[in-house]
Structure 1
Amino acid sequence: MCEVYGALLNCYVEHKSLDKAEATMKKMRELGFLKISLPYNVMLSLYSRMGKNEKLGILMQEMEEKGIELNVFTYSIRLNAYAATSDIEGMEKLLMKMEADPEISIDWNAYVAAANGYLKAGLQEKTLEMLKKAEQLVTSKKIKTAYQIFLTMYAAIQKKEDVYRIWTLYRKMGKFLNSGYLCMIRSLVKLDDLDGAEKILEEWESENTLFDIRVPTALITGYCKKGLLEKAEAYINRLIQSGKEPDSKMLECLTIGYRVHGQMEKAVETMKKALLACRPGSVPNRLILAACLDYLKEKGDAQTAEEILRLLRENCHFSTSICEGLQNYIHGENPGSKAFDHLKDLIRIWIVRLRELREYWNSSLIAKFRSF
Structure 2
Amino acid sequence: MSDERGHELSPGDFAVQLDLISKVHGLEQAEEYYNSIPDHLKGIQVYGALLNCYAHKRHMEKAEATMQKMRELGLVRILSYNVMLSLYSHMGRYEKLEALVKEMEEKGVSSDIYTYNIRLHAYVATSNFEEMEKLLMKMETDSLINIDFHTFFSVANGYLKAGLLEKSISMLKRAEELTVPMVGTTKAHAYEMLLTLYGSAGNKDGAYRVWNLYKNTGRIFNSTYICMINSLMSLDDIDGAEWISEEWASRKTLYDVRVPNSMIRAYSRKGLWKKAEEYVNKIVESGMQLEASSWDHLATGYHFGGQMEKAVETLKKAISIGKPGWKPNPYTLKTCLTYLEGKGDEEAAEELFEVSQ
Task: Report if TM-score (shorter chain) is over 0.5.
Answer: yes
**2:148 corresponds to 1:107:** yes
CA distance in 1, matches of 2:325, 2:57: 21
Contact 2:268 2:300 in 1 (8 A): yes
Question: Partner of 2:78 in structure 1?
Answer: 37
CA distance in 1, matches of 2:166, 2:230: 22
Q: Residue 303 and residue 204 in structure 1: after superposition, are their counterparts in 2 closer, same or farther (change >3 A)?
A: same
Pick which of 79-88 and 272-281 moved more.
272-281
Question: Partner of 1:74 in structure 2?
Answer: 115
Kindly report which structure 2 residues correspond to 1:46-65, keeping only aligned pairs within 5 A, or say none: 46-65=87-106
Question: Partner of 1:7 in structure 2?
Answer: 49
CA distance in 2, matches of 1:229, 1:298: 23
Equivalent of 1:136 in 168, 173, 177 = 177
Contact 2:337 2:353 in 1 (8 A): no
Amino acid at match of 2:70: M
Pick which of 267-276 and 148-157 moved more.
267-276
Q: Secondary structure at the match of 2:111?
A: coil
CA distance in 1, matches of 2:54, 2:131: 28
Structure 1 residues 230-268: Cα deviation after superposition (integer angstroms, max 9, x where no partner): 221122233234443322332332232222222333333
Question: Partner of 1:178 in structure 2?
Answer: 222
Structure 1 residues 335-365: Cα deviation after superposition (integer angstroms, max 9, x where no partner): xxxxxxxxxxxxxxxxxxxxxxxxxxxxxxx
Shift of 1:214: 1.2
Greater Cα radius of gyration, structure 1 or 2: 2
Shift of 1:19: 4.0
Contact 1:194 1:219 in 2 (8 A): no
Shift of 1:32: 3.4
Question: Partner of 2:307 in structure 1?
Answer: 263
Pick which of 131-140 and 64-73 moved more.
131-140
Q: Secondary structure at the match of 1:175?
A: coil
Contact 1:194 1:222 in 2 (8 A): no
Question: Partner of 2:132 in structure 1?
Answer: 91
Q: Residue 267 and residue 26 in structure 1: after superposition, are their counterparts in 2 closer, same or farther (change >3 A)?
A: farther
Shift of 1:7: 2.2
Q: Secondary structure at the match of 1:221?
A: helix
Aligned sequence identity (%): 53
Question: Partner of 2:22 in structure 1?
Answer: none
Kindly report which structure 2 residues correspond to 1:316-355, keeping only aligned pairs within 5 A, or say none: none
**2:231 corresponds to 1:187:** yes
Shift of 1:72: 0.1
Q: Secondary structure at the match of 2:219?
A: coil
Q: Secondary structure at the match of 1:266?
A: helix
CA distance in 2, matches of 1:66, 1:195: 58
Shift of 1:275: 3.5
CA distance in 2, matches of 1:249, 1:7: 42
Q: Residue 277 and residue 131 in structure 1: after superposition, are their counterparts in 2 closer, same or farther (change >3 A)?
A: same
CA distance in 2, matches of 1:191, 1:213: 23
Q: Residue 291 and residue 5 in structure 1: after superposition, are their counterparts in 2 closer, same or farther (change >3 A)?
A: farther
Q: Residue 277 and residue 132 in structure 1: after superposition, are their counterparts in 2 closer, same or farther (change >3 A)?
A: same
Structure 1 residues 267-286: Cα deviation after superposition (integer angstroms, max 9, x where no partner): 33333333344444455433
Q: Secondary structure at the match of 1:211?
A: coil
Amino acid at match of 1:253: H
CA distance in 2, matches of 1:259, 1:151: 30
Shift of 1:93: 1.6
Equivalent of 1:197 in 241, 248, 254 = 241
Amino acid at match of 2:198: Y
Pick which of 66-75 and 44-53 moved more.
44-53
Shift of 1:78: 1.4
Shift of 1:124: 0.9
Shift of 1:74: 0.9
Q: Secondary structure at the match of 1:149?
A: helix
Shift of 1:79: 0.9
